[in-house]
Copies of this chain bind each other. A is one copy, B any other.
Amino acid sequence: MLIVNSPVKEIKEIQKDIFLQKIYSPEIAGQIKPGQFLNIRVSETVFPLLRRPFSICDVEGDFIYLMFNIFGEGTRILAHKHIDDTIDILGPLGKGFNITDDFDLAVIVAGGLGSAPFPFLTRLLKDKYEVHSFVGGRTKNDVITYNLLNVQTATDDGSLGFNGNVVQLFEKNLPSFKDKRIKVFGCGPNAMLRALKEVCITHNINCEVSTECAMACGFGICQGCPIESTEQSDKYLLVCKDGPVFNVKDVII
């Protein structure tokens, strides 16, 4: 864990309302793993007070990338940084995806900004594994396929790809993977992750998901981010420290 001030080097709107920010941060780039996250202080002032958690979206040499939309005040300030403004990063945080399991085919299932952690994961997987991506959103504007491979899309309103949610799309495609040892990597709203868990448990598929939760510290000292464990009912796991990536078998989402 480090705290570093790193300069913004590029801000791009990769699609309507979705920003990709390139940051020069050799310290973070050198040690972060896909699925881990950063807790970012967007302003030196007391507003906003708390850091904001963001997945590591990608790493290229000494540069890291964040992907986000303007959700509230924090992301608004972040999106309006100028080139060479520095941002205050605490990280790398949490446990990332486990890519040393025994599998042949990686399946990415992402809803909305749940796509954020997958460009980096894809980068690390693509040389060794077959990667398929299912990407969904409410409308076609919410579907983010940036730097993903073998993409199939789904929208709730049918404006792009499959008419329905991305978990249904994934389930529909399961038969095509039936001879492969697959591992699913999911990220998106908790409701989607719950549905994904159900499908994966039913079909006995290895699945890790990156969960979301309000956070204060991001590194285990505030107890602000509990998630119910399937193993122990007498205590919670912490999303920031024990997660944000969990095997679906281990948590009640």
| Chain A interface helix/strand/loop/mixed | loop
Residues 68-117 of A at the B interface (beta carbon under 8 Å): 73, 82
Chain copies in the assembled complex: 2
Q: Give the residue among A45, A46, A73, A82 with the most B Cβ atoms within 10 A.
A: A45
Q: Residue A177 at the B interface, CB < 8 A?
A: no
Residues of A in contact with B, size category? under 10
Q: Shortest beta-carbon distance, A70 to chain B, in Å?
A: 14
Shortest A143–chain B CB gap in Å is 31
Query: Bound state CA distance, A47 and B47, in angstroms?
Result: 6
A243, chain B: closest CB distance, angstroms: 31
Using Cβ atoms and an 8 Å threshold, which residues of chain B touch A73? 45
Residues of B within 8 A of A46 (CB): 47
CA distance A47 to B45 in the complex (A): 7
Q: In the docked arrangement, what's the CA distance between A82 and B45, Å? A: 18
Give the CA-CA distance A45 to B80 in the complex, in Å. 14
Question: A82 contacts which chain B residues (CB < 8 A)?
Answer: 82
Residues of B within 8 A of A45 (CB): 47, 73
One digit per residue, 1 when the CB lies within 8 angstroms of any chain B CB and 0 when it does not, for chain A 210-230 equals 000000000000000000000
Residues from chain B with a CB closer than 8 A to the CB of A47 are 45-47
Residues of A within 8 A of B (CB): 45-47, 73, 82
CB<8 Å pairs between A and B, sample of 5: A45-B47, A45-B73, A46-B47, A47-B47, A82-B82
